[in-house]
Amino acid sequence: MHNALNYGTLNLPFRGPIEEIRNLSKGRTNNSSLIRAEGALWVIRRGSPHARHFGIDRTQEEIVLQSAANARIAPRVAFCSVEHEILITEFIDGV
């Protein structure tokens, strides 16, 4: 998964290599993985081409996720690219 895109060109919350990656789910509109990089845990979500068929608006989704994070009811959004369909949030254990 992480080899399909040159992550070095993106402004990710980590610069070092991905030390561990574990698939969390493979849904109809997203592929989510738990990653460890630079000793921290992150959840990375890659969108799938099928999302458009369900009418998902990633730009609106980003606004909602940022608002929820600012209200402290969702994990902090560390990186979001609508263009690349990538979302990286802090991992919160037990959620």
Q: Looking at residue 5, what is its pLDDT?
A: 52
Residue 93 to residue 12: CA distance in whole angstroms:
21
pLDDT level of residue 72 (50, 70, 90 thresholds): very high
> Residues 13-48: pLDDT tens digits?
888 788 899 998 767 778 889 999 888 999 988 887
HSE on the CB side for 49, CA within 13 Å? 0
Q: Give percent of the chain with pLDDT exceeding 70.
A: 87
CA-based torsion, 94, 7, 26, 73: positive or negative: positive
